[in-house]
Amino acid sequence: MSESETRRVILPEEYEKILVALHAADERKAERPLLYDVTGRETYTDYILICHGTSDRHVGAIQERIARAMKKHGHRAIGVEGEDLNHWVLMDYGGLIVNIFYEPMRDFYDLDGLWMGSPELDVAELLREAESRFGTPPASEEMDRT
């Protein structure tokens, strides 16, 4: 899928949210990110991002980085669930729902299987777009945990 096809598929009002969330997750080494287009299939959101971390601390780091990056770009979560255990964190940004799992929980709940019939967007291409748009954060921002 070319960049123009990706942009045409993604609703314009959700495009930046998706780029920011994917870029932030990638910065924290989120594993196997998948992005599903559920537009018209679901009423509560248009896109679902699923990724995982290799430990509960890794999940927490991914969630914190996404929250910080989204806030920096003016996107506030409607709700966040699961931060206490970091086994499955759900971040609701309206048209984008972010699911961050601890790896065994991802396999157990199998949301990937639930959305398998929905169009899967090209995460690698979106990450290239995000990298060209946002670049790599300076080391001081990367290490900032506040």
Amino acid at 49: L
Residue 13: per-residue pLDDT: 81
pLDDT reading at 145 higher than 50:
no
Give me the count of residues in the chain. Answer: 146
CA dist 121 and 46 (Å) reads 12
The residues facing 120 across adjacent strands are: 36
- Kind and range of the H or E run holding 146: none
pLDDT tens-digit map of 89-131? 999 999 999 999 999 999 999 999 998 889 999 999 999 999 9
Cα 146 to its chain centre, rounded Å, is 21
pLDDT tens-digit map of 13-70? 899 999 999 999 999 999 999 999 999 888 899 999 999 999 999 999 999 999 999 9
pLDDT tens-digit map of 70-87? 999 999 999 999 999 999
Question: Quick one: which of 77, 126, 82, 74 has its CA closest to 100?
Answer: 82
**Higher per-residue pLDDT: 5 or 68:** 68
DSSP letter string over 54-97? Answer: SSHHHHHHHHHHHHHHHHHTT---SEEE-TTT-SEEEEE-SSEE
